[in-house]
Amino acid sequence: MIIQVVYRGAKAGILTGVLLGVARVAGETAPLLFTSFNDNFLNTNMNEPMASLTVTIYNYATSPYEDWQQLGWAAAFILSMFILTLNIIGRLFLLKRKGR
């Protein structure tokens, strides 16, 4: 009963929380800059420094090379569009489910 009643009433809030969590994880720069130690290489060992998109954006944006700066802006745009698309899909999913 709780699952049927509470879940139906709170599913919009739950989805909003999940979307905000994903957006925060994807866009959170400061903790990634400190925890990944500015490593640019992919590493599958969880105990070693690891590359992340935000560190790559930071490194490329502060680079003296024009083409690297353009790549940094492109990566920032891709990250922003990913979050926007995820939010739109989530909202469309909620509207579709609400219409039933």
Alpha carbon separation from 36 to 20, 41, 55, 74 (Å, rounded) = 22, 10, 8, 21
pLDDT at 65: 95
Q: Which tokens belong to 34?
A: 């400190």
N-term to C-term CA, the chain: 20
**pLDDT for res 92:** 87
The span from the CA of 21 to the CA of 5, in Å, is 24
> Residue 87 pLDDT > 90, yes or no?
no
Question: What pLDDT was estimated at residue 28?
Answer: 67
Contacts of 7 (CB under 8 A, 6+ apart): 14
For residues 33 and 84, which has the higher predicted lDDT (pLDDT)?
84
How far apart CA 41 and CA 21 sit, in angstroms, is: 25
Residue 68, both tokens:
């690297």
* pLDDT, position 29: 64
pLDDT score of 32? 62
pLDDT tens for 26-80 read: 666 666 666 656 666 777 777 777 777 777 788 888 899 999 999 999 988 988 8
pTM: 0.61
63 with 40: CB under 8 angstroms?
no
